[in-house]
């Protein structure tokens, strides 16, 4: 059975059909890319899954539980996580403190950063930082980290709630190619180790083709293709949407996923 099942999902803004009757499934342990030109409806889809936006129609189920109509916090508690940008106010906290806060929040003890609670969560936080390769920088303030390292901490924070489905909307935006590949390789590793399902958007086709297990393609709110990277690469409709007729995706050598 799939982890996430989306059926006939729609959302209009005024007369603009941002998402127009799409459906797809995502299994546990699967890294699914949602691609499409700007304005295709990718973020709108994400925001309906995480409960920020109420769909006009359709259904979104996680393990058979309907998510539509639930508040974002409830959906998060059911195991749908997403990577947030670390808020300005937390930038002065250290890396490990940020993850401790996230662990406390996952327990429902928001902002109860008492000394004893903090001590209690410290080893758990360090274990998460170990998983994202940030243990060595645990005591540094987040404000001094390199951009790619901030993204790793954000991933650790998202994992603090032990999500079963992780939504990553443009996780590598603003990153250099090397950092992008590192973050996606790490994500892939987490997907395999934890049996996590991940839905992500990404502009770099190199990254998408290298790391996604499967790809779904949106154009003007409609799902126009779905398949393995090799199938999507050869799909004439997808090529047309991205580049106009005649052109194909470049076949640059890509970093092989670990
Ligand atoms: P993508 O993430 O694929 O670039 P979006 O989901 O952000 O696309 O947007 C899809 C369409 O919906 C676009 O035409 C966009 O202008 C419109 N849209 C998105 N959010 C809103 C909103 N809050 N209010 C009005 N229109 C919106
Ligand atoms: Mg978007």
CA of 115 to the centre of ligand 2 (A): 39
pLDDT of 92: 84
Q: Which of 39, 53, 56 to mutate to test the pocket of ligand 1 (most atoms within 8 A of CB)?
A: 39
**pLDDT by residue, tens only, the chain of 258 residues:** 799 999 999 999 999 999 999 999 999 999 999 999 999 999 999 999 999 999 999 999 999 999 999 999 999 999 999 887 776 668 888 999 999 988 988 877 555 555 565 677 899 999 999 999 999 999 999 999 998 899 999 999 999 999 999 999 988 888 888 989 999 999 999 999 999 999 999 988 889 999 999 999 999 999 999 999 999 999 999 988 876 644 456 555 455 555
pLDDT of 241: 85
Question: Terminus-to-terminus CA distance in the chain, angstroms?
Answer: 27
Q: Which of 14, 15, 18, 48 to mutate to test the pocket of ligand 1 (most atoms within 8 A of CB)?
A: 18
Q: For residue 53, which atom of ligand 1 is closest to its CA?
A: 23
CA of 138 to the centre of ligand 2 (A): 31
* Ligand at shortest distance from the CA of 168: 2
pLDDT of 114: 58
- Which residue's alpha carbon is nearest to atom 5 within ligand 1? 41
* Ligand at shortest distance from the CA of 45: 1
Residue 205 in contact with residue 173, Cβ under 8 Å?
no
pLDDT of 110: 53
**DSSP line for the chain:** --SEEEEEEEEEETTEEEEEEEEEEE-TT-EEEEE-STTSSHHHHHHHHTTSS--SEEEEEETTEE-TTS-HHHHHHTTEEEPPPPPGGGTTSBHHHHHHHHHHHHTT-TT---HHHHHHHHHHHHHHHHHTT-GGGTTSBGGGS-HHHHHHHHHHHHHTT--SEEEESSTTTT--HHHHHHHHHHHHHHHHHH--EEEE--S-HHHHHHH-SEEEEEETTEEEEEE-HHHHHH-HHHHHHHH-TT--------PPP-
- Which residue's alpha carbon is nearest to atom 26 within ligand 1? 13
Q: For residue 11, which atom of ligand 1 is closest to its CA?
A: 12
Overall pTM surpassing 0.85 (yes/no): yes
- The residue extents of the domains of the chain are 1-79+164-258, 91-162
What would the two tokens of residue 175 be? 């990153």
Helices 147-159 & 115-131 angle (0-180, nearest 10)? 110
Q: For residue 218, which atom of ligand 1 is closest to its CA?
A: 3
pLDDT of 174: 85
pLDDT of 104: 85
For the domain with range 1-79+164-258, which CATH number is right: 3.40.50.740, 3.40.50.300, 3.40.50.970, 3.30.420.40? 3.40.50.300
What would the two tokens of residue 200 be? 């992500």
CA of 41 to the centre of ligand 1 (A): 6
Pocket of ligand 1 (CB under 6 A): 13, 16, 18, 36, 38-44
CA of 42 to the centre of ligand 2 (A): 5
CA of 19 to the centre of ligand 1 (A): 9
Residue 114 in contact with residue 127, Cβ under 8 Å?
no
- Which residue's alpha carbon is nearest to atom 25 within ligand 1? 13
* Ligand at shortest distance from the CA of 220: 1
Residue 203 in contact with residue 179, Cβ under 8 Å?
no
């Amino acid at each position: 059975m799939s982890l996430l099942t989306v059926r006939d999902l729609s959302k209009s803004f005024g007369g603009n059909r941002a998402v127009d009757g799409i459906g797809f499934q995502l299994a546990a342990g699967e890294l699914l890319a949602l691609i499409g030109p700007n304005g295709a409806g990718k973020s709108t889809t994400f925001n309906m899954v995480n409960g920020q936006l109420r769909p006009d129609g359709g259904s979104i189920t996680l393990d058979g539980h309907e998510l539509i109509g639930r508040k974002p916090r409830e959906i998060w508690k059911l195991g749908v996580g997403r990577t947030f940008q670390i808020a300005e106010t937390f930038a002065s906290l250290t890396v490990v403190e940020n993850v401790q806060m996230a662990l406390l929040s996952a327990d429902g003890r928001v902002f109860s950063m008492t000394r004893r609670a903090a001590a209690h969560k410290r080893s758990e936080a360090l274990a998460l930082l170990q998983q994202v390769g940030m243990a060595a920088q645990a005591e540094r303030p987040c404000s001094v980290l390199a951009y790619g390292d901030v993204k790793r901490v954000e991933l650790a924070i998202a994992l603090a709630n032990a999500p079963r489905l992780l939504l990553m909307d443009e996780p590598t935006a603003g990153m250099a190619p090397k950092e992008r590949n590192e973050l996606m390789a790490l994500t892939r590793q987490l997907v395999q180790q934890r049996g996590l399902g991940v839905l992500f958007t990404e502009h770099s086709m190199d990254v998408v083709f290298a790391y996604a297990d499967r790809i779904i393609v949106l154009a003007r709110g409609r799902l126009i293709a779905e398949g393995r990277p090799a199938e999507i690469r050869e799909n004439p409709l997808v090529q047309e949407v991205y580049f106009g007729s005649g052109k194909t995706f470049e076949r640059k050598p890509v970093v092989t996923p670990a």
